[in-house]
Amino acid sequence: MILNKKKNIATMLFSENAKIVLEKRYLRKGPDGKPIETIEEMFWRVAKSVAEIEARYKKSPYSPDDLAVKFYNLMVCKDFLPNSPTLMNAGTKLGQLAACFVLPVEDSMEGIFDAIKYAALIHKSGGGTGFSFSRLRPKNSRVGSTGGIASGPVSFLKIFNTATEQVKQGGTRRGANMGILRVDHPDILEFIRAKEKEGELNNFNLSVALTEEFMEAVLSDKTYSLIAPHTGEKKGELRARDVFDLLVKKAWQSGDPGIIFLDRINKDNPTPSQGEIESTNPCGEQPLLPYEACNLGSINLSNFYTEDTDEKIDFKRLKEVVHLCVRFLDNVIDLSKYPIDKIDKKVRLNRKIGLGIMGWADLLFKMGIPYNSEEAIKLAEKIMSFIEKESKAASIKLAEERGPFPAYEESIYKLRGEGPYRNATTTTIAPTGTLSIIAECSSGIEPVFSLCFYRHVMDGEKLLEVNRVFKETFEKFGLYSEELIEDILENGSIQHLDYIPDELKRIFVVAHDIEPMYHLKMQAAFQKYTDNAVSKTVNLPNSATIEDVKEIYLEAYKLGVKGVTVFRDGCKSSQVLNLKRDKGKESKVRQRPDVVYGFTQKVKTGLGTLYLTVNEVDGKPFEVFATIGKSGRSITAKAEAIGRLVSLALRSGVEVEEIVRQLKGIGGEHPVFQKKGLLLSIPDAVAWVLENHYMKKKDRNNSQMEPSLKRPVCPECGEEITFQEGCMLCPACGYTRC
């Protein structure tokens, strides 16, 4: 379909759910928070701004106006979407279009707090940041300039985490961070355990950078050396298998930390003369040099299915789209306003872009190929090798028009006789959480999480969302019915349904139907033909053992991936992959006695002073009254509502630990420090009071609490949250957190 002008037909191409996500998260807003542009105007704003760069290059075969129409059609027809900051900021005063940044953390107080300052500027502009803390001297080391004692990387991690809490990304989302430490750093054991208390470092993903030396020591059961980074001196040694086993155990318990294979990443560093790659972006798919940034985009593969060829894939059109996308992303580099001069310089030196895919699972559904099959693995390699080859060809053409990236002469490509390329890298497979909702396709290379679910729309309304390919196929076979949908809503899958033919069960698998090793094989297949790295989560059932995780980590090393993230169903109370809904359970609410006694706690919050009255019966909390001073009626009403609901839960027999678990850590727009620490919101303050009075003997983030296996909670709409591509994603409203 070709759309030459900004017409209402563009809006017609998007589902109601996609429109809601666009209006909530992407359209420009006025002072009242309401959109001041239409969906057509948003896509035209982006297309026109990116295409205007073409006028800078006299050898370009396109005029800016003609190219703007092509870019507009790419996005509106949902063949391709750029990363979120480009959709949000192209053609605006902010103008920061990149998603991924890596900042160095130097071993000095000035360097550390420069990194915090730079991260705040990046988060404010809509980007995510990765840091390696490996340069910092170990805990208890002597600081020569002051004679003091160093507090170590983990202590500074906490400062970075707190700073992130204070900055809301472009008014749309909270900043995400990656924290990395080399496995040979003397503080590695403390780092591995840094998130064992749930709620700690909640704005960070953590990964341990594994070296070849370490992995060889694991396989041969030897010790390896710990090296102080500020002196290069050996500070001890550890048995590699003990460290590896601890990593595996913590990943099994909570999903953190993940692992990256650092030497493998640097083996593919296209510009080694500029230094080593130390870190990745928050989801791990984009390794970058210090002060580097990368802008990403994804092609919707499900749109390239065709009945017109034996291959069932329109490779001719895919080639055309890849070449347009590479041109789009290269233009974005020139258009973007980077928040720091050092980043601007480094980005233009290497001109890295990351073209990836989404809609992979939907394409497999259309082709009748099971995700967990060797046929799917071979197809993944075929498609990604094609995209990699064509993206490089497109980059060569751009270099002919515009010149190669400035650092080409010192790159590995020059040494190999390749290129010259316009871009140091061209491919990355990134998370596509909200983008895939807009494009109405499956996320990245992940399998479908559920064949159907309820999507939150507005004012509490929910709409049933059914995978389109699944619906069309089952209607064709006369199997689609309300009974089928009700059966699937139990757990998102059809594998337990006796009346479904085995062949359809084989094709329409969801994340938890797939053996963990096939998750990993799929990641490895795409990694084989991807310059940077691949965002993918290996989903595990709750019954998975520590040995299962260990096997995945070892196999990941053997298969050649650059990192791996595992997530075991139900391992975190706030991140549960479970679609089952509570049915028919009646609660008996205790009646209130005529006289009750309790206490009132005064708590400072970012919205005013909260006075929380807790009344008790038989020494246990029975009801809660929350009032807040010097706030508007809306805030007062919300505080009262929280009190009433907590009271109802207490009088219905819900334990205080469970209430604290649900309320603790809920973020708000105005977190505030008080004498006991950082309070994020009114619900967080209520949790703090209850915990302080009734759970004194347990740490506030007690890791011994059993993880909840109840339905997960999205902080915005209360629906189920999935964990995929290294991020939490709410399919119901589009909320993401990486």
Query: What's 348's DSSP letter?
Result: H
Report, as ranges of residue numbers, the positions in the chain whose pLDDT lies below 70: 1-11, 145-146, 168-175, 198, 455-461, 572-588, 594, 629-633, 668-670, 673-677, 696-720, 726, 732, 738
Active-site annotation, residues: 281, 283, 285
pLDDT of residue 460: 56
The fold of the 100-280 domain, in CATH, is Anaerobic Ribonucleotide-triphosphate Reductase Large Chain (3.20.70)
Please identify which residue in the block is written with the tokens 């997960």.
712
Neighbours of 346 (CB within 10 A): 21
Neighbours of 542 (CB within 10 A): 14
Contacts of residue 304, defined as CB under 8 A and 6 or more positions apart, other chains included, come to 313, 314, 315, 317, 318, 321, 363
Find, among 133, 124, 110, 122, the residue nearest to 179 by Cα: 133
Determine the 3-state secondary structure of 102 from DSSP: strand
User: Which two tokens mark 197?
Assistant: 């208390």
Find, among 423, 361, 359, 429, the residue nearest to 392 by Cα: 423
Query: What's 308's DSSP letter?
Result: S
What is the C-alpha separation between 602 and 339, in angstroms, rounded? 40
Determine the 3-state secondary structure of 148 from DSSP: strand
Find, among 702, 628, 604, the residue nearest to 660 by Cα: 702
Contact 440, 458 (CB under 8 A): no
Phi/psi of residue 710, each to 5°? -80, 175
User: Which two tokens mark 362?
Assistant: 């939907």
Q: What does the chain come to in residues?
A: 738
Phi/psi of residue 601, each to 5°? -105, 130
Query: Within 13 A of 501's CA, how many CA atoms are on the CB side?
Result: 9
User: Which two tokens mark 664?
Assistant: 């603790």
pLDDT of residue 580: 41
Query: What's 651's DSSP letter?
Result: H
Q: Are strands 177-182 and 204-210 parallel, antiparallel or unpaired?
A: parallel
Contacts of residue 705, defined as CB under 8 A and 6 or more positions apart, other chains included, come to 198, 573, 657, 661, 698
Q: Evaluate the CA torsion angle 477, 483, 485, 488 in order and state its sign.
A: negative
Residue 568 sits at the vertex; the CA angle it makes with 565 and 571, to the nearest 5 degrees, is 115
Determine the 3-state secondary structure of 176 from DSSP: coil
User: Which two tokens mark 724?
Assistant: 């995929």
What is the C-alpha separation between 71 and 47, in angstroms, rounded? 5
Sequence spans of domains, the chain = 100-280, 597-694
Neighbours of 415 (CB within 10 A): 9
Query: Within 13 A of 513's CA, how many CA atoms are on the CB side?
Result: 22
What is the C-alpha separation between 188 and 185, in angstroms, rounded? 5
Beta bridge pairs of residue 567: 539
Question: Checking phi first, is residue 245 left (phi over 0); if not, alpha (psi -120 to 50) or beta?
Answer: alpha
Start-to-end CA distance of the chain, whole Å, equals: 34
> Whole-number mean pLDDT of the chain?
88
Contact 538, 519 (CB under 8 A): yes
What is the C-alpha separation between 159 and 157, in angstroms, rounded? 5
User: DSSP string of 371-437?
Assistant: SSSHHHHHHHHHHHHHHHHHHHHHHHHHHHHH---GGGGGSHHHHHT----S-S--B-B---HHHHH
Distance of CA 64 to the CA centre of its chain: 34
Beta bridge pairs of residue 169: 173
What is the C-alpha separation between 278 and 102, in angstroms, rounded? 9
What is the C-alpha separation between 287 and 675, in angstroms, rounded? 39
Find, among 17, 338, 26, the residue nearest to 172 by Cα: 26
What is the C-alpha separation between 683 and 680, in angstroms, rounded? 8
Q: pTM, whole model, 2 decimals?
A: 0.81
Contacts of residue 530, defined as CB under 8 A and 6 or more positions apart, other chains included, come to 356, 384, 388, 427, 428, 429
pLDDT of residue 71: 98
Phi/psi of residue 401, each to 5°? -80, -40
Contacts of residue 417, defined as CB under 8 A and 6 or more positions apart, other chains included, come to none
User: Which two tokens mark 502?
Assistant: 């085995």
Query: Within 13 A of 273's CA, how many CA atoms are on the CB side?
Result: 11
pLDDT of residue 699: 41
pLDDT of residue 602: 85
Tell me the pLDDT tens digit for each residue of 4-56: 544 456 667 898 888 988 998 899 999 998 999 999 999 999 999 999 999 99
Contact 295, 336 (CB under 8 A): yes
Contact 527, 385 (CB under 8 A): no
Please identify which residue in the block is written with the tokens 């209006």.
23
What is the C-alpha separation between 95 and 88, in angstroms, rounded? 9
